[in-house]
Structure formats: C-alpha cells, structure tokens
Amino acid sequence: MSAVTQDTAVSTGRAMRVLIYLLLVLFALFYLLPLYVMGINSVKPLSEITGGNMMALPQVWTLDPWRSAWSTAQIGVEPTGLKPYFLNSILMVVPAVAISTIVGALNGYVLTKWRFRGDSWVFGLMLFSCFIPFQIVLIPMAVVLGKLGLAGSVPGLVLVHVVYGIGFTTLYFRNYYAAFPTELVRAAQIDGAGFFQIFWRILLPVSGPIAVVSVIWQFTNIWNDFLFGASFGGTSQPMTVALNNLVQSSTGVKEYNVHFAGAILAALPTLFVYIVAGRYFVRGLMAGSVKG
C-alpha cells in the first residue's frame, strides 16, 4: 500500500512540475511578445507594416530602418539619428555608475566599521533619500546646476545621477559590510593599517557580489531615466529623450520600422548588462542578508 502511495505521489509531483513549466513557458512567451513584435517589424519595409502584417515574418528583410535610426533619422531639427545621443548616454552612465558605486562603498565601510555618534541618523537620512520622488528635486537641482555652471551638460547629468544614486549604493554596501567580521578590521588596525589601506586590501576584494548589484541597479536606472535627461540635458540629451523626440518629431508618414529599431537600440545596453551579469544580481543581494 505504501509503494502505491509513493508512486502516486511521484506521478502527482511530475504532473505539477510539467504544469508549472508550461505556465512558465506561457508567461515567458507573453513577456517576450513585445520584443518579438519590435524585432520583426524593425527589419521590415514600411509597406509591410502598414499592410497590417505586424505579427508575420518579413517577406523582404532589410536593415535600412536600423541604419536610419542610428545615423540619419530626424531627431528634433537635425537628421543625426540616435548615434550622438547614444554617446551622450555612455558618457553620462559610465562615470555616474563608477562614482556612485565607489562613494556608496566608502559610505557603507564607514557606517559599519568606523562607527561614530549619530551614524544611525546619517544612515537613516541617506535611506530616506531613496524614497524621495524625482519631481521633488527638480527645482533645487536646477538651481544647483545653474550656480555650478553645469546646466545642460553631460557633467551636470552625471552629478544629478550620482547624488540621487548614493542613497541606494550606500544601502547595498552598508548591509553587505555589516555581515563582514569586524575583528578582521580591528586586527588590521593593530597591525598598523590605515583607513584606505583596510578598505582597499580587506573590504574591497570581497565586495564583488554587491558591487555587481550596485552597477546593475545604477546602470539600469540611469540609462532608462527620462525625467532628468529631459529636464537638465539641454543640448546633451541622453538616449531616452532622443528616442522620444524621434517618435514625436516624425512628420507625414510614421516610420514605425525606424521607431522599433530605435527602441531596440535604446534597450540593448541594459539587456546586455542583464545577460552578462544578471545571474549575480540576486546572489549579491542575498550575500549580505544573513550574518554569520
């Protein structure tokens, strides 16, 4: 009787597993459907799209929409394509991610291994900054950028994203370093190691998982940001603002194939980051969640 019960349980478990996998495949197909539509229509002539065959494979394959979106599409008043704005986004994202990650690591190091009176209040205020809506800081940030002479420039956008991202990176590194044995830091101090020497030789080498989390989080948020880019970009607008201008500035016939190609171009960097390092994201978040 027990053997029959065990066989029934195994069969039921297999059936449930198959059902779960089928549901996951269904959800994945549903989630990937917009990407399929954009990808297929970005390599079609416009006549096929306007003919109502958006879900069908192209009868004529062409890369002209991609060339147009990259180099010749009308963005605002100039037919520059998305290329210069893509470069603006790279020049904005790379230093902003690097600076905010390094500063967040130093903040987490100080708040966990160099405790001082009121450090909990400092961390609380920095944590509070993570919940401040973008819209609230627009006017104060505009005033600061104007006084610093950085309005309408890539360095100005870098400063904005560094300031807004420090709260998040500090939270990640502070929680991660809290699980790191303080005794090792004290032993290094006894051996004569200084503040930066301890950080560089002891803390930083074990910070890989949480650094990946910080980089992915910051890169995604900064690259996909539209509000700050539209508000403070000026003539140095990032990719997301240019993509919006590409769609809005089209006159006459809407070149949907060019718009689809531009949307994929704007999404490729974040997609690449998640493909390369996405598996480390959850691992890095969980690394500092349990002490011991």
Structure tokens at 156: 């100005």
Residue 77 lies in a domain: no
Residue 78 lies in a domain: no
Q: Which residue type, as a one-letter code, is found at position 75?
A: I
Across the range 186-192, mean pLDDT stands at: 87
The C-alpha torsion from 158 through 160 and 164 to 165, rounded to 10°, is: 0
Structure tokens at 62: 């062409």
- On average, the pLDDT of the chain sits at 86
Of the residues 46, 72, 98, the one at which a domain ends = 72
| Measured distance CA(167)–CA(291) in Å, rounded | 22
- In tens, the pLDDT along 32-48 reads 898 899 999 999 998 88
Assign 220 a pLDDT band (cuts: 50, 70, 90). Answer: very high
| Measured distance CA(214)–CA(208) in Å, rounded | 10
Assign 1 a pLDDT band (cuts: 50, 70, 90). Answer: very low
List all residues 6 or more positions away from 114 whose beta carbon is below 8 Å from its beta carbon. 195
Is 149 found in the same domain as 191? yes
Residue 107 lies in a domain: yes
Residue 127 lies in a domain: yes
| Measured distance CA(138)–CA(141) in Å, rounded | 5
Is 61 found in the same domain as 203? no
Percent of the chain with pLDDT over 90: 41
Assign 292 a pLDDT band (cuts: 50, 70, 90). Answer: very low
Give the model's pLDDT for residue 103: 95
Give the model's pLDDT for residue 98: 95
Degrees (nearest 5) of the Cα angle 118, 132, 134? Answer: 145
Is 273 found in the same domain as 203? yes
- In tens, the pLDDT along 88-145 reads 999 999 999 999 999 999 999 999 988 888 888 988 888 888 888 888 888 989 999 9
Is 63 found in the same domain as 143? no
Give the model's pLDDT for residue 285: 65
Mean pLDDT lowest among 4-18, 97-111, 240-254, 265-279: 4-18
Domain residue limits at 51: 4-72
Is 277 found in the same domain as 157? yes
Nearest-10 crossing angle of helices 279-287, 208-224: 120
Supply the pTM of this predicted model: 0.84
Is 153 found in the same domain as 97? yes
Give the model's pLDDT for residue 255: 86
CB 53 within 8 A of CB 278: no
Sign of the dihedral through C-alpha 155, 70, 274, 55: positive
List all residues 6 or more positions away from 135 whose beta carbon is below 8 Å from its beta carbon. 227
Is 143 found in the same domain as 51? no
- Structural domain tally of the chain? 2
The span from the first CA to the last CA of the chain, in angstroms, equals: 45
